[in-house]
Amino acid sequence: MNTSNSHAKTPGRLVKAPENFLGAHAVSTVFEEAKRGRRNFLRNAFAAASLAASVPALAQASASPQTQGDAHILNLPEHSRGLGQAVASDGYGKPSKFETNVQRRTSPGLTQTAQASVSFAPLQSLFGIVTPSGLHFERHHQGWWDIDPSKHRLMINGADDNLVKTPMVFTMDEIMRLPSVSRFHFIECGANTGMEWGNVAVPTCQYTHGMISCSEFTGVPLKLLLDRAGVDYRRGRYVLAEGADGSSMTRTVPMELIESGEVFVAYGQNGEMLRPENGYPLRLVVPGVQGVSWVKYLRRIEVGDKPYGTKDEVIHYVDLMPGGKHRQYTSTQECKSVVTTPSGGQLLLDQGFYNITGLAWSGRGKVRAVDVSTDGGRNWRKARLESPVLNKCLTRFSLDWVWDGKPALIQSRATDETGYVQPSSRQLRAVRGTRSIYHNNSIQTWLVQENGEVKNVQVA
Ligand SMILES: Nc1nc2c(c(=O)[nH]1)N[C@H]1C(S)=C(S)[C@@H](COP(=O)(O)O)O[C@H]1N2
Ligand SMILES: [Mo]
Give the tens place of pLDDT for each residue, 423-437.
Answer: 999 999 999 988 888
pLDDT along the chain (460 residues), means of 10: 32 29 39 46 30 34 62 93 87 94 83 75 97 97 95 98 98 98 97 85 92 98 98 98 92 96 98 98 98 97 95 84 83 96 96 97 98 98 98 98 98 98 94 89 97 92
Ligand nearest to the CA of 293: 1
- For residue 115, the model assigns a pLDDT of 63
350-353 CB contacts, 8 Å cutoff, 24+ apart: 350/1, 350/57, 350/58, 350/61, 350/405, 350/452, 351/402, 351/403, 351/404, 351/405, 352/61, 352/62, 352/402, 352/403, 353/63, 353/400, 353/401, 353/402, 353/403
Whether the Cβ atoms of residue 439 and residue 200 lie closer than 8 Å to each other? no
**Please, what is the average pLDDT of the chain?**
86
- What's the 417 CA to ligand 2 centre distance in angstroms? 25
Nearest CA to ligand 1 atom 11: 292
In ligand 1, which atom is closest to the CA atom of 189?
14
Entry pTM: 0.87
Pocket test for ligand 1, best of 135, 139, 318, 438 (most atoms within 8 A of CB): 139
In ligand 1, which atom is closest to the CA atom of 140?
7
Whether the Cβ atoms of residue 26 and residue 92 lie closer than 8 Å to each other? no
- For residue 298, the model assigns a pLDDT of 98
How many whole angstroms separate alpha carbon 277 and alpha carbon 295? 12
Please tell me if the CB atom of residue 294 comes closer than 6 angstroms to any atom of ligand 1: yes
Nearest CA to ligand 1 atom 20: 278
- What's the 343 CA to ligand 1 centre distance in angstroms? 27
- What's the 158 CA to ligand 2 centre distance in angstroms? 27
- For residue 330, the model assigns a pLDDT of 74
- What's the 321 CA to ligand 2 centre distance in angstroms? 20
- For residue 328, the model assigns a pLDDT of 79
How many whole angstroms separate alpha carbon 231 and alpha carbon 164? 5
- φ, ψ for residue 8, nearest 5 deg: -65, -30
In 127-249, DSSP assigns E strands to: 138-140, 153-158, 168-171, 181-188, 212-221, 238-243
- For residue 5, the model assigns a pLDDT of 33
- What's the 314 CA to ligand 1 centre distance in angstroms? 17
Ligand nearest to the CA of 439: 2
- For residue 114, the model assigns a pLDDT of 64
Which amino acid type is present at position 160? D
Q: What domains are there in the chain, each with its CATH number?
A: 3-49+333-459 (2.60.40.650), 133-327 (3.90.420.10)
